Amino acid sequence: MAGEKHFSHFDASGNAWMVDVGSKSETFRVAIAAGTVIMHPETFRMVQDGSAAKGDAIGVARIAGIMAAKKVDSLVPLCHPLMISSIVIDFKFMEDGRSIGIEAKVGCKGQTGVEMEALTAVSVAALTLYDMCKSVDKSMVISDIRLLQKSGGKSGTFVREQ
């Protein structure tokens, strides 16, 4: 049916395939993703003041997220390798005294979007925070990993409603 929505990574027979982006125009694309790590207040304070046993948990998580965004095509089977032009990862210590917000913004000029790169950056940054802090708090929760917005490409702009 015309206009019917479908999953792009399956052909008409239902076989998985990598979408052919060869004929798509290069445009500047940006995606922003976010997530949260929730922990005990004592763990939160240790991360905030940099006294975690393994060192600067935020700094290590930032580098891990950047590295992960650059490797998405090796991690997610049908993603294209991209020439990423920018990756910015920010952390916010929330007022509840137990949650750390993570936000990743990824940009590139290319033929396909960078949503997966932004989502992967947040995911791996969160996992790294967990790894850095698990010796004192195994009950941490990684939550709400989501795409906040994306721009560029044929599908246009997406902004998540609050």
Catalytic position from the list 56, 131, 137, 144: 131
20 noted as active-site residue? no
Task: Give how far Cα 20 sits from Cα of 8, 17, 80, 107, Å.
Answer: 10, 9, 10, 20
* Residues designated catalytic: 131
